[in-house]
Amino acid sequence: MQQQYEGYNDLVDSLKSASAFLNLEQKSQLHQEIITICNHLVNPSFRIAVFGPFNHGKSTLLNAMLGNRTLPIDLIPTTGAAITVKYGSDVRTRIMLVDGTEIYRTGTEILQQFAILDGNRQMRKDVASVEVFCPHPFLETGVEFIDLPGTNDRDEQDNLVREQVLSADIVIQLLDARKLMTLGERENLRDWLLERGIKTVIFVANFLNLLEPDEQKQVQNRLLFVAESFRSELPPGFSNLYRVDALPALRARLKGDVAAANSSGLAAFETALQNIVGILQPNRGSVRLPRLQAIASQIQLSLKAQIDPIAIEIKSFDDKQNTKIEIKQKAANLIYKGFTTSLGELRDWLALPNLLTKYQADAAVALAENNFKVWQTNTLKKDLTQLQFAVVKWLYQAYEFFQEERPQDFLIPFPSQPQVTLPSKSSSSDDLSEPGSIAVGGGIGWLLGGPVGAAVVGSISYLLNKSIQKQDEQLAKESYHQEVAKLCITAIEDYLSNFSSQGLSILTEYEQQAEKVICFEFSQEPLDITNKREKLQQLQKGFNQLLRELEKVKILSTHQPYKEIPKYSNTNRKYSPQPNRVQSYPKDTGVKQQQENTATRVESVSQSPPPKASPSGQKEEVEAKFRDWELNEEIARMKAEMRSPKRMF
């Protein structure tokens, strides 16, 4: 029969695991009830408890059913422990003490020592359980009787009874016909039975034989009202109300008087009880699970009382962290967009075709006029400095914002000043009488002088506009000043080519360094939040597991399963807005898990970005985040730095 209930083992484990999170005191009512119902779920025996106030004849009724004076009875409250009556080949008693000692005795006389109230009507503190074994055919079917102490006497006894009825498959509530359903009995019926899912209740009225015939009829009508008002969940066709005159029934059984036993109501009650048990016993789960539902509901409510505040705190922390991350992400994306825009402008500027188009003519003229140094400083260097500043200022903004790695110096050196060696002057030419082969380092205009020098300068623009070709046969036909102009143009082209090549190489290296600057590391989660997150995971797991096991046995719950919060994992992780390097924070706590392309994610940056200001739309969005969020020191610092331009190099 035990195998029939192995399916409840997982449910019992879930109940115990879930309740362990509640840290209940072992003596607390809820803890005791959880242990009781867990043990009852896997108990193969079918238990019948006799329940009622003291001196209602509970032990007398059981003795009448057993056919002997097995249990102690007296005119005063006697039963001081829950006595379980089981099947045995002979009558014997087993007492289990709290310290683990077992006491076996033949017969039941030892009950007078361990199972009745003492002279002060107190229960013994050292008794853990009392069992009586009896060779009765009804017990041989796996049925157990529980003789409970009387209620409404002492709180200690009431607590024991309240616990024991939870593990009874059928509760026989014994009523005194002389004082039918007192206020205490009605409260116990409601609080101890009905509200705890115990509805397999049979009412037995005792002492009806002590009333006058007219009184008996009135009491019977009242008994019917009581029985009808409590909807017992018994098999169809069976009443939940019986009359048994317990003491006459016991005397009849002891004498073997069948007629007297029948007239006492005992035979009819026994027949009905055995038939009810025969129907309920094979499907005892339908009797036990409603009690479990009431206990499980208390556990779930208690778990929710722990889970919800922690979940709110964790969510608040995650929302705050995610808001910080979102602001930092927007700042990083904005900075990176500005950086890449400025970097692209500088790269385009350094492209040799663009340099030649913009500067070759003026540089060649400056070289010819002995003004190359001035031109390099006032024109080329000035333009380069402006473009470099536009690039570097974004990295310094990132450094001030994220404090990751300080930007390295961004220097693009100029090549050596162009050198031109004048060609030999043709003897037929009357332009100059001086020999050639004079190195031009400080300009040639003064050397050529007069109309020849002016002709060289003029030829530079003319030849560039003509898109001259370097062809030897053409050089021979050209005038001397055009030949010199070509030399100046070629020298400048070599100069700008070296400048472009070196500048683009330095720019590529500098772009790679930017990855270490425009990024931020996810902050380490505080230890107390980590501990609470782990506790929350355990609580939610226990709650959800209990919910699943309840569903398996068709117990529906008004609660929904929790979406379990995953473990926090943000250690040594960085966010970098560079393409193909985007990471989300942390991916399971509500932050967007996929980043859009940087070019479409952030707002556009003007071609000439201001020194330290975000675009207005982006700034307003960030400002809204700050307004909606209680600032902490870090964000306050970030906000201040975003508003305060600083010198960058």
Residues 436-459: pLDDT tens digits? Answer: 333 444 445 444 545 555 666 777
Rounded mean pLDDT, 108-135:
78
The amino acid sitting at 127 is V
Rounded mean pLDDT, 75-81:
51
Angle of CA points 540, 545, 548, to nearest 5°: 125
Q: Which residue would you say has higher pLDDT here, 478 or 12?
A: 12
What's the pLDDT at 78?
Answer: 52
Joined together, the tokens standing for residue 456 give 């060289």
pLDDT of residue 200 exceeding 50, the answer is yes
Q: How confident is the model at residue 579 (pLDDT cuts 50, 70, 90)?
A: low
Residues 517-527 as b/e (b if ≥16 CB within 10 A, e otherwise) read bbbbebeebee
pLDDT of residue 636 exceeding 90, the answer is no
Instruction: Report the share of the chain in percent with pLDDT over 90.
Output: 32
CA distance 412 to 167: 88
pLDDT of residue 85 exceeding 80, the answer is yes
Rounded mean pLDDT, 395-419:
90
Give SS3 for 533.
helix
Taking the CB of residue 24, how many other CB atoms lie within 10 A of it?
16
Q: How confident is the model at residue 42 (pLDDT cuts 50, 70, 90)?
A: confident
pLDDT of residue 569 exceeding 60, the answer is no
Q: Is the dihedral of CA 359, 364, 368, 370 positive or negative?
A: positive
What's the pLDDT at 429?
Answer: 47
Question: Given the DSSP bridges, would you call strands 102-106 and 127-134 parallel, antiparallel or unpaired?
Answer: unpaired
CA distance 229 to 117: 35
- Which residues have CB under 8 Å from 309's CB, separation 6+? none
CB 464 within 8 A of CB 490: no
Using one digit for the tens of pLDDT, what is the confidence trace for 611-624?
344 444 544 554 44
Bridge partners of residue 86, in order along the sequence: 133
Burial class of 488 by CB neighbour count within 10 A (0 to 12, 13 to 18, 19+): buried
User: Of the ranges 80-84, 104-108, 243-247, which one carries the lowest mean pLDDT score?
Assistant: 80-84
Q: How confident is the model at residue 109 (pLDDT cuts 50, 70, 90)?
A: confident
Angle of CA points 454, 455, 458, to nearest 5°: 85
Rounded mean pLDDT, 98-112:
88
- Which residues have CB under 8 Å from 296's CB, separation 6+? 15, 546, 550, 555, 557
CB 649 within 8 A of CB 410: yes
Rounded mean pLDDT, 274-280:
95
Rounded mean pLDDT, 229-255:
90
Q: Which residue would you say has higher pLDDT here, 590 or 278?
A: 278
Instruction: Report the share of the chain in percent with pLDDT over 70.
Output: 76
What's the pLDDT at 259?
Answer: 92
CB 561 within 8 A of CB 543: yes
Nearest to 625 by CA among 363, 409, 327, 248: 327
Angle of CA points 241, 151, 267, to nearest 5°: 30
What's the pLDDT at 608?
Answer: 33
Give SS3 for 559.
coil
What's the pLDDT at 59?
Answer: 87
Joined together, the tokens standing for residue 515 give 């990855």
User: Of the ranges 102-111, 396-405, 466-475, 526-535, which one carries the lowest mean pLDDT score?
Assistant: 466-475
Q: How confident is the model at residue 640 (pLDDT cuts 50, 70, 90)?
A: low
pLDDT of residue 602 exceeding 70, the answer is no
Mean pLDDT for all residues in the chain: 79
What's the pLDDT at 70?
Answer: 67
Q: Which residue would you say has higher pLDDT here, 48 or 8?
A: 48
Distances (CA, A) of 17 to 22, 104, 502, 535, 538: 9, 35, 70, 14, 10
What's the pLDDT at 514?
Answer: 87
CA distance 152 to 232: 23
Counting Cα atoms < 13 Å in the Cβ hemisphere of 145 gives: 29
What's the pLDDT at 591?
Answer: 33
User: Of the ranges 445-454, 455-464, 531-540, which one carries the lowest mean pLDDT score?
Assistant: 445-454
Q: How confident is the model at residue 305 (pLDDT cuts 50, 70, 90)?
A: very high
Q: Is the dihedral of CA 137, 139, 141, 147 positive or negative?
A: positive
CB 516 within 8 A of CB 581: no
Using one digit for the tens of pLDDT, what is the confidence trace for 411-420?
999 999 998 8
What's the pLDDT at 442?
Answer: 44
Joined together, the tokens standing for residue 444 give 């040639």
Bridge partners of residue 146, in order along the sequence: 49, 84
Q: Which residue would you say has higher pLDDT here, 465 or 271?
A: 271
State the DSSP string of 177-232: GGG-S-HHHHHHIIIIIGGGT---EEEEEE-GGGS-HHHHHHHHHHHHHHHHHS--
What's the pLDDT at 329?
Answer: 87
What's the pLDDT at 228?
Answer: 82
CB 450 within 8 A of CB 490: no
pLDDT of residue 67 exceeding 60, the answer is yes
Rounded mean pLDDT, 282-302:
87
Give SS3 for 521.
strand
pLDDT of residue 45 exceeding 70, the answer is yes
How many Å from the N-terminal Cα to the C-terminal Cα in the chain? Answer: 86
pLDDT of residue 48 exceeding 60, the answer is yes
CA distance 296 to 305: 14
CB 332 within 8 A of CB 520: yes
pLDDT of residue 585 exceeding 80, the answer is no
Helices 382-402, 285-350: crossing angle, 10 deg rounding: 160
CA distance 166 to 33: 7
Domains and CATH numbers, the chain: 45-283 (3.40.50.300), 307-328+521-643 (no CATH), 351-387+409-513 (no CATH)
Q: Whole-model pTM above 0.75?
A: no
Cross-sheet strand order for the sheet of 143-147:
102-106, 92-97, 127-134, 83-87, 143-147, 46-51, 170-176, 201-206, 241-243
Bridge partners of residue 49, in order along the sequence: 146, 171
CB 81 within 8 A of CB 151: no
Q: How confident is the model at residue 222 (pLDDT cuts 50, 70, 90)?
A: confident
Select, from the ranges 139-148, 156-165, 174-183, 521-530, the one with the highest average predicted confidence (pLDDT). 139-148
Q: Which residue would you say has higher pLDDT here, 109 or 437?
A: 109
Q: How confident is the model at residue 610 (pLDDT cuts 50, 70, 90)?
A: very low
Q: Which residue would you say has higher pLDDT here, 450 or 91?
A: 91
Rounded mean pLDDT, 516-536:
88
CA distance 551 to 541: 15
